[in-house]
Structure 1
Amino acid sequence: MPLHGKAWEVKVEKSQGQIWLAKGWNDLCAYYSLSISILFIFTYIPSSHFDIAIYDQTTTEIEYEIDQDIELDEEEEVIPVLQANAYVIKEYIQVNP
């Protein structure tokens, strides 16, 4: 997932029938200063990656500057994800309290 030109690799773990965002997730959240009040829309792109749109509390999409110095490897498989402590259940993303 190139988010403003940057691809993030986040490990996904399955536990008790749920999918959890794991290693790499906290780094991504810290880089973008993400918090629980932010809305994330994940769009699955075949080949195991997601495009992500980030919205603020007013549901306005947050636009990040494009990082021109980052080179993307189109053959690299990454699963980028957003939202601290998120998990996927039946195609919905829910947040742990």
Structure 2
Amino acid sequence: MYPFTSAKRRRLLLIVLGRENGKCFYCDVPVSMSARQFLNSDAKRARELNAATLDHLIPASRRGEDTPENTVCACFGCNMDRGDRPAIDFLYEKQASIAA
């Protein structure tokens, strides 16, 4: 697997953002591309503004690839809360907390 350039990762994010209609795959809130400017400098602000992030269904730490089939658009909060847990486990826990 070759590393993606910033332009390629951005293109991939735009693909999955369109596929998910501009919403977080996990919590269904609208995400913001403009809030991405805070990702490296102000994590609290990025979380508050639902900054759009690229998230791997099979985590990159577990050799998940940068492909449209393995990535989703996630708000910064969900991406950070999930960590490197499998996506299905995170979805199950999120649904259980909503139902409680």
* Pair in the same fold by TM > 0.5: no
Structure number with the bigger relative contact order (C-alpha 8 A, sep ≥ 6) is: 1
Provide the TM-score with structure 1 as the length reference.
Answer: 0.26
Provide the TM-score with structure 2 as the length reference.
Answer: 0.25
Q: Normalized per residue, which structure has more helix?
A: 2
Q: Normalized per residue, which structure has more strand?
A: 1
